[in-house]
């Protein structure tokens, strides 16, 4: 009797104990309750900090050693201010609720049938369906870096794993320091304070970061660093003989990155290693081309062959101005190099690398590119391998007495180490290869001239097995690259060099034999851009020269291939910044304003100032590329059309372009003109100002797109509701209102109401009175269900992704 009475209680207790490390859809986690990982390493639940006892945060902390060491927080910027907090698990993911209001979600990518949230003994919270992990907290770290966690970028998914400090020791909300991997050139880790770099690890050089002469590895743990086509990451794991040890990395609220080890005798965290320990660790403490050495007095010195730019400041210990060359480089006369040893390698954001080349190949590449200023290995193990080239000033170097790497700095011939050799040796080493090179070049030029003359006589250029005489007729002075040249430049079209892919096919980064960086647009066999569009892009852009238009360097039409070779744009597409929730924060109003003005000037050139009147027809954010200095350049002229004489309008039975950027008269009737581009420009401006896409835009109060939302807010006098919060502090509200009004003038429904690009440029650059805009095109509200079904397409938008064809002409 007694046993049967308590049997249900014991069964319930056993079930509860078995599921102590997990919660599911039927057992939420409420304020005051916690769950513990299987071996009791970590605990999860709601907590408060001593400084903010009224706030409740959902997080994870160490269970066995120190219950007040929090390693992860979910709702760091949205605390629960009462005891009604609940953590719920649904088919869509993990939710943190304040009563019935959702304040945080794991944003899982898909719905699952058997959802479970489990806390692992690694400190990782996973959301899974059976054994399949759908989401994990290790992919979304806060300020702590635990063993087994990856720090870096998943290149397949675009996921970035980075760290952001707490605001203070008692406030887990987002602080001002961010530590993340940068892959602008050769990958490295940068510490940002807001939009300013304050510390740099240096690139990975085989056994550790260049900025750590004594590498961060011990018998306690091992380090792994991976650079592959699929991901770039740093990770550390405990060694097999040190499983009982406890260590972590933490980004502190004041911007220090520290490795901490738990001291079992004193029961406190001990600082084993601090990444920033002195002034020389501050980013660019000695300015460009200067070297900081903590053991020297003064701490900063210029490299051999350089002198302080501002000697008076230098004498007062203000070294930020850096150093300038004693003798300017002269690429034509021939430069040399000096060997600088025992240094932290310079900032690699303006660099190029190849892990398969030798150091001698690297030297040749640097000499062949007049913009190259230094070279080195990418891996210093076993005598060194790989090639790393720098362009521009060499920033953020420091010297070490016992360790560091070797850097070869480009110098004028008179200042280089080679100048010490005898004149006879110099003649043998320099003149003879030079003569050989000149001979080879002359032979190639003769062959090229012969081939060009032969093609002109035929009047035909065979392309994909089809004859077309368009290049011959236009007599474009445009180089024809061979497949061998482009394959060599792109490492055989390596996936490491792949920049992205659109409807036409992939784009690769490359470097020509002379060291010039290029972007190669390789049309796929199934590309929507056919021969006509290919020839159209060649004929259009080859005739154009403007600082806000991307430059076409040549083409390749061999062996069934169709490729276009452009100048390389290191900052890629504008969409990769303004639509990124993190990168957009460093893109202030001044930068966005400069980009808007640059695009306007580029369009004005196309419409009125070039020898041809060109309608782009596919102007959109992803077709705006950014150069080294964030100058915008309009790209992708495959859909462009050339107007002749006084022609201002045309019609087509084949409407091509991208939904959301097409004006009504073009999308519906096939009519296009310069005013079509003006409409697209207006859409683009609103996207730049708001940080939101026009297609897929959602608002809880209505079912309009971004244009409709901006129109409503303009009429309500609430234009700031349209503006991206990331630029509110850096903007002038009057300027914002004026730019929004100009954008609305551009997207008016009827083309005759829209201004010309010359008027737009004038309005942007002056304070002339603006007219009142009329209703924009496509202003009617959408069906919410249709809007939902189509919004997912917008999220994956790429170059020429969406094309439409009209069967009925106007």
**Burial (0-12, 13-18, 19+ Cβ within 10 Å), 360:** exposed
Distance CA 95, CA 78 (A): 13
502 within 8 A of 798, measured Cβ to Cβ: yes
3-state secondary structure 289-318: CEEECCCCCCCEEECCCEEECCHHHHHCCC
**Burial (0-12, 13-18, 19+ Cβ within 10 Å), 554:** buried
Distance CA 681, CA 274 (A): 49
Distance CA 369, CA 362 (A): 11
**Which region holds residue 750: left if phi is over 0, alpha if psi is between -120 and 50, else beta?**
beta
H-type helices in 501-588, by residue range? 531-541, 575-578
693 within 8 A of 579, measured Cβ to Cβ: yes
The CB density around residue 112, as the number of other CB atoms within 10 Å, is 19
Q: Look-up: residue for tokens 């083309």?
A: 751
Q: Which among 396, 415, 618, 724 is annotated as catalytic?
A: 618
* Active site (annotated) includes residue 77: no
Distance CA 456, CA 472 (A): 6
Which residues on neighbouring strands pair with residue 21, listed in sequence order? none
DSSP summary character for residue 762: H
359 within 8 A of 377, measured Cβ to Cβ: yes
Which of 500, 537, 504, 538 shows the shortest CA–CA distance to 519? 500
The CB density around residue 202, as the number of other CB atoms within 10 Å, is 23
Six token digits for residue 747: 């997207």
Instruction: List, in order, residues 6 or more apart from 289 with CB less than 8 Å away.
Output: 302, 303, 306, 322, 323, 324, 325, 393, 394
Distance CA 732, CA 723 (A): 12
Please list, residue by residue across 272-300, b when 16 or more beta carbons sit within 10 angstroms of its beta carbon and e when fewer do.
ebebbeeebbebbbbbbbbbbbeeeeebb
By annotation, the residues acting in catalysis are: 618
């Amino acid at each position: 009797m007694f046993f049967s009475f308590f049997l249900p209680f014991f069964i319930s207790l056993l079930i509860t104990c078995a599921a102590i490390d997990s919660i599911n859809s039927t057992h939420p986690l409420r304020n005051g309750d916690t769950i513990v990982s299987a071996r009791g390493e970590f605990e999860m639940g709601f907590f408060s900090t001593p400084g903010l006892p009224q706030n409740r945060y959902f997080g994870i902390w160490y269970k066995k050693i120190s219950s007040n060491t929090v390693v992860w927080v979910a709702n760091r910027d949205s605390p629960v201010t009462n005891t009604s907090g609940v953590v719920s698990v649904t088919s869509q993911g993990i939710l943190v609720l304040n009563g019935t209001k959702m304040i945080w979600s794991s944003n899982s990518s898909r719905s699952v049938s058997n959802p479970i949230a489990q806390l692992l003994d690694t400190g990782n919270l996973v959301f899974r369906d059976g054994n399949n992990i759908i989401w994990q907290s290790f992919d979304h770290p806060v300020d702590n870096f635990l063993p087994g966690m990856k720090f870096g970028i998943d290149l397949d998914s675009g996921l970035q794993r980075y760290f952001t400090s707490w605001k203070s020791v008692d406030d887990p909300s987002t602080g001002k320091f961010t530590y993340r991997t940068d892959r602008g050139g050769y990958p490295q880790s940068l510490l940002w304070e807001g939009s300013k770099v304050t510390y740099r690890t240096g690139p990975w050089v085989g056994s550790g970061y260049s900025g750590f002469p004594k590498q961060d590895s011990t018998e306690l743990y091992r380090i792994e660093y991976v650079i592959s086509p699929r991901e770039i990451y740093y990770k550390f794991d405990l060694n097999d003989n040190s499983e009982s040890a406890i260590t972590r990395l933490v980004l502190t609220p004041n911007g220090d990155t520290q490795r901490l080890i738990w001291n079992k005798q004193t029961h406190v965290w001990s600082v084993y290693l601090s990444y920033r320990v002195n002034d020389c660790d501050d980013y660019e403490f000695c300015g460009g081309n200067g070297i900081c050495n903590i053991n020297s007095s003064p701490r900063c010195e210029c490299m051999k062959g350089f002198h302080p730019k501002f000697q008076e400041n230098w004498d007062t210990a203000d070294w930020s101005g850096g150093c300038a060359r004693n003798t300017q480089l002269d690429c034509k006369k021939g430069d040399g190099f000096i060997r600088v040893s025992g240094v932290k390698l310079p900032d690699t954001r303006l660099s190029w690398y190849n892990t398969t080349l030798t150091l001698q190949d690297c030297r040749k590449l640097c000499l062949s590119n007049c913009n190259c200023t230094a070279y080195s290995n990418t891996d210093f193990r076993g005598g060194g391998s790989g090639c790393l080239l720098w362009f521009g000033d060499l920033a953020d170097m420091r010297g070490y007495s016992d360790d560091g790497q070797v850097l070869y700095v480009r110098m004028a011939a008179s200042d280089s180490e080679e100048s010490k050799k005898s004149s006879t040796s110099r003649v043998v080493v320099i003149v003879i290869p030079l003569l050989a090179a000149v001979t080879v070049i002359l032979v190639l030029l003769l062959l090229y001239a012969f081939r060009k003359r032969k093609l002109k006589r035929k009047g035909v250029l065979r392309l994909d097995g089809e004859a077309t005489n368009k290049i011959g007729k236009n007599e474009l002075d445009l180089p024809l690259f061979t497949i061998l040249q482009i394959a060599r430049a792109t490492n055989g079209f390596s996936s490491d060099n792949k920049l992205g892919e659109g409807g036409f096919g992939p784009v690769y980064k490359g470097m020509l034999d002379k060291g010039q960086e290029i972007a190669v647009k390789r049309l796929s066999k199934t590309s929507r851009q056919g021969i006509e569009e290919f020839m159209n892009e060649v004929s259009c852009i080859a005739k154009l020269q403007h600082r806000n238009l991307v430059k076409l360097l040549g083409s390749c039409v061999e062996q069934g291939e169709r490729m276009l070779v452009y100048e390389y744009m290191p900052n890629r597409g504008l969409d990769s910044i303004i639509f990124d929730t993190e990168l957009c924060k460093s893109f202030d109003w001044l930068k966005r304003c400069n980009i808007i003005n640059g695009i306007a000037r580029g369009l004005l050139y196309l419409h009125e100032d070039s020898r041809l009147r060109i309608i782009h027809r596919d102007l959109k954010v992803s077709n705006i590329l950014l150069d080294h200095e964030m100058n915008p350049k309009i790209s992708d002229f495959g859909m462009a059309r050339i107007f002749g004489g006084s022609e201002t309008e045309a019609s087509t039975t084949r409407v091509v372009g991208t939904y959301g950027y097409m004006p009504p008269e073009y999308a519906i009737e096939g009519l296009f003109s310069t005013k079509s581009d003006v409409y697209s420009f207006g859409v683009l401006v609103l996207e730049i100002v708001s940080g939101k896409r026009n297609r897929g835009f959602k608002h809880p109060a209505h079912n309009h797109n971004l244009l409709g939302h901006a129109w409503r807010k303009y009429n309500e006098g609430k234009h700031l509701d349209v503006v991206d919060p990331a630029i509110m502090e850096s903007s002038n509200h009057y300027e914002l209102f004026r730019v929004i009004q100009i954008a609305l003038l551009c997207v008016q429904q009827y083309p005759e109401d829209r201004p010309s690009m010359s008027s737009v440029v004038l309005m942007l650059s002056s304070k002339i009175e603006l007219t009142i805009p009329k209703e924009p095109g496509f202003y009617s509200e959408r069906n919410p269900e249709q809007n939902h079904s189509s919004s997912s397409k917008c999220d994956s938008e790429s170059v020429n992704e969406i094309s439409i064809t009209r069967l009925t002409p106007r």
